[in-house]
Structures are given as C-alpha cells and as structure tokens.
Structure 1
Amino acid sequence: MSQRVSARAYARMRNVSHKGVLEAIQSGRLPSAVKVGQRWEIDPAQADREWSQNTNVNHHKSKAPRVVAEPEDSSLPGLNESKAEREYYLAKLAQLDYEERAGQLVSAEDVRVTWFSHARRVRDAILNVPIRIVDEVRAIAGELDENQRHEILLCLQRELVQALEELAGPEELPPQSQS
C-alpha cells in the first residue's frame, strides 16, 4: 500500500482540478478514498486504477481547447467557412419553412398535381367537342350518310388533337426532382 495523499495533492498529480477529484469521490468513482476528519486521503496507485476504470474520458471536457487539423486537400473549405455556409443554408430553410406556413409558398408537387388535373379536364372537354357537334354539322350541311358523318367527326378530332399537341409543346414545368 502506497502512502496516502490529500485530495488536493492527488489532483495535482493527475493534473486535474481539486473539484474534479472531489466529484469523482462523491460519485463513487474513487471508492478507496478515505475521509479523515474534514479531508480526504487517497492512495495514488489505487486511485489511478479506479480513475481509469470508472471515468469516461470522452465525457469530461479538457482544459485545453481541441485543435481541429485542417485537411490537407486545399480544395476543401475551412471549418469557419463550412460553418458559415451551413448557417446560411439553415437560415434559408427556416425562411422557406416560414413562408410556406404563412401561405406565401406552395408545394411544387401540389402545383404539378393541380396543373395536371386542370390540363386533363381542358383536354377532355376539347376532345369531346366533335362528338357533341357532329350532328349539328350534319343538320346544317344537309343529309349526310354515316360515312360522311364519320369523316367529319375524324376531321374535327384530328384538327383538335393537333391544336392541343401544339399547345402542349415542350414541358414547361421543371421535371420532378428525385428526392
């Protein structure tokens, strides 16, 4: 058994604060510490073993600030630049979230679905025009046999489909993102 030392002396030996040693004693991490009167006496060899077994070194802050090594690749941004960029984008996301909740923004997917639904209704209404008016054309033009009626119907449908295809043109909305 080694010679016992005070808690303050043991703190100097471990290069930790006196308060840190007292907290270790009170939390039960140094069970071999003995209270003599008002002070604690500690067997340094035994306490070192208990300290290493019972103390999570990653849990406690060290007095020296951690130094983060800069990456060797100079194409990577520095830590401060990365943090600033991260904060910038977090602020932009917060702004978008606020604007969406305030009703100033709508979901792009909601716009696509609504637009598609309206466009389909317009297309269907236009493509149904020939079927609805072919008999009126027949009445105006006079007696037509079924073949002539059918030819008029096909002609109207062909022209309306061509007009709709021209209106559709290239896709005007950006493609849906794959997220």
Structure 2
Amino acid sequence: MSKTNKLPSVSIREAARKSGTSHVAIIKAIGQGRLDKCVDRSGKNNRIWYDIFLKEAEAIDFKLKGEQSEFSDISSLTDEEKKSIEALTVDTASLKESRRREAYYKSELARLEFEEKDGTLQNKVDTYNQQFEFGRRFRDMLLSLPDRITDQLMSMDNRDEVYNLLYNSIRDIMEELLKETDKMYDQPAHKEQN
C-alpha cells in the first residue's frame, strides 16, 4: 500500500478550481513532466493529491491564484508519510534548480563563443604574456638609456642641451614601445599629436 493512498485526491478540474488556474494549464504541466509527483494514476482517471500538487506547484513556480489546500493539515499523518510527501516534492525543486543552472551555463557559453568569434574575448594567458613582454621590453629600454647617452651628456656644457637630450631619448623609447603595442593589437592605440 502506497504512503500517498491515505491522502485524499481530487480531479484535475477540482484542483484547478481550488488553485485558481485552468485545468488545461495543469494538464500541460503534467504532460511536460513539470507536475509529476502529485498525479494519482491508480484509478481509471488521473486524479491529483492536492497537498502534493500545491508543494510541487510552488517548487516549480506554477502560478496559483486560488485558495490553499483544505487538506493542508497533515498532522494526522505519521512521520514516515510526511517524509514521503517531502521526498516527492524535493525532487521537483532540485530538477527546477538544475534546469535553471543549465540554462544559465548555456547562455554564458553562447555569450563567450560570440565574444570569441567577435574578437572581443581575449585569452587570459596570451594577454598576460603580452603585458609581461611589454613590461620587460620597457625595462630593458630604460635601463639601456644611460649606456647610450652617457658620453653625449658628459660632453655638454649647457643645461638645456642635457635636458633636450634626455627628453628626446625618453620620448623615442615611448614612441617605439607605442609602435610595438600597435603591432600587438593590430590597431593604432593612439593618435599622433602635433
């Protein structure tokens, strides 16, 4: 004997009337498998265990507008029967959650695939390697600056000449790095300033 046999069952139309929804919506939900645990298939006609229907409908966000169960006082049931009712509705809630997660991950995958094809999505490792290489190149160029201009600086007597030499050398390094950056990203990263 099933543990749910002690629960009163109602017709689908009666459940629709009590819950304030159409019987067609309930039949569709049963056909789609969204409402499954509440269906009493023991008789000739499908009937619904109304308490389980309410819990299952709540778990899948099925819109209910009507009154609550007249059988909602299940205190007369044993603990084992209450657990069986809970077990019937927990599966539906976890199914709903897994479907929600699946839809979320599918949409994220579609977004990432689009961004990859569009060119807006970049590989993290490649980006890191490019930035590291740029930093290493910048450091090397700046550290080589004194070796290149020391002799010229020592031969100069005028402060303005020293300043101009340093400024132009640093500016040349920056422009060279900017050209390398443009090549890395295949587009100009700046506009020429006159």
TM-score range, shorter chain: 0.3 to 0.5
Between Structure 1 and Structure 2, whose CA radius of gyration is higher? 1
Q: Which has the higher contact order (CA 8 A, sep 6+)?
A: 2
Per residue, is there more helix in 1 or in 2? 2
